[in-house]
Chains A and B, each alone.
Chain A
Amino acid sequence: MAERQQQRAMAGGARIGLMAIFAAFFRLGVTSFGGGTAAWLYRAIVQRRHWVDDQAYLVDVGLSRVLPGSAGVNLTVQVGQRLRGGWGALAAVFGLLSGPLFIVVGLAAGFARIAGSPVAHAFLDGVAGSAIGLTFATGLVLVPRGRTEIGQIMITIATVVAIGVLRWPMLPVILCLAPVGIGLALVQRPGRG
């Protein structure tokens, strides 16, 4: 099964090694400042390496946010699994977490006092603000935009308004919108381009 998934993902390219997966996610872990792991992962794994496509990425994003736990780690487990099964998931999660683990403890050991200062807080606010911008930019790129996809666009807008603006609970909102989206997909059938 893993073979088939991988072929889908890579259009018949070479098998991705565990070390390559570990290295890619290690780099992702130590460069993804400001949270928003999903957006960083999109850049590193989908756009730069083409290891999974947009559709698979979005499926994984959806599940990563619905299930409990850190969305970034959940997404990493799923993408790792797509690439190389259980070992791939393990390599990806170890890669993602090992760098930040050492960095965060190093910071705590060395800079505990600096972290409490107002200027440091302001700096982190600045980083956090632009990091949210990265999440927005990535989300907007993934919004469907074809002429035949007005229904899909409305679903995206409804999701944002209900969960992001009105702060309605996520699961009921998804349970209401999912049948609409799936119905549309059944009626329209593949043909994305």
Chain B
Amino acid sequence: MPGDWRVLLALIFVFGPLSLFSIGGGASLLAEIEHQSVAVHHWTTHREFADLFAISRAAPGPGTMLSTLIGWHVAGWPGALAATVALYLPSSLLVFGASRLWGRWRGSVWHGAIERGLSPIAAGLMLAGGLAVLQAAGGAAVWAAAAVATGVLLRWPRLNPLILFGASGVLFAVAALFGR
């Protein structure tokens, strides 16, 4: 069906460029995905978008499976595949090329110095990324959960985090049921 082709192409043309403009992670990307799928292309209503976003959070894996769901919502499995590949392929090729290029210089004095020099910044970026997500997520309870989980995982590094996540989720759900 020609209509289907047009939807798939539209998905590719929306998510492909987003792949390369999403510097600094998910939050800025989210607003743009919403704008495109609700206001520009009418793939979802506001309500449907909110539902798909909630579902994408419940699934495991890297945070941005939202595009997959929008593709699936408008065009079934072909849509899910097109949206996923469009969002991840361009950025993956870029990082692949960059790290290949970087590997060529392995062994030189500068190579080692740059790698060692950048690693404290990389550790800082991980921590800063966690803080950014916390600030976006809001709620004092979420901050508390993060603080407790940090402490527990530092104290018991071998604990399976899934146990902790499940306990924390159940605690929040119970509080929402009976709280206030």
Chain A residues with CB under 8 Å of chain B are 1, 4-5, 29-40, 43, 55, 58-74, 77-78, 81, 86, 89, 93, 96-97, 99-101, 103-105, 107-108, 111-112, 115-116, 118-144, 152-153, 155-160, 162-165, 167, 169-171, 174, 177-178, 180-186, 190
Contacts and interface: CB of A to CB of B under 8 A. Distances in A.
Contact of B122 (A58, A67, A127): A58
Contacts of A39: 126
B54 A129 contact: no
Contacts of B168: 126-127, 129-130
Given A129-B168, A130-B146, A133-B145, A190 B120 contact: no
A18 to B, nearest CB: 16
Given A68-B91, A136-B150, A127 B120 contact: no
Contact of A182 (B114, B123, B124, B130): B114
Interface string B36-55: 00000000000000111011
A13 to B, nearest CB: 19
Interface of B: 19-26, 50-52, 54-65, 68-69, 72-73, 77, 80, 84, 87-88, 90-92, 94-96, 98-100, 102-104, 106, 109, 112-135, 137, 139, 141-154, 157, 161-162, 164-173, 175-177
Contacts, number: 369
Contacts of B100: 81
Given A69-B20, A133-B164, A177-B121, 14 more contacts: A67-B23, A68-B21, A69-B91, A70-B22, A70-B88, A122-B175, A124-B57, A124-B58, A159-B120, A164-B124, A164-B129, A167-B135, A181-B116, A186-B117
Contacts of A178: 117-118, 121
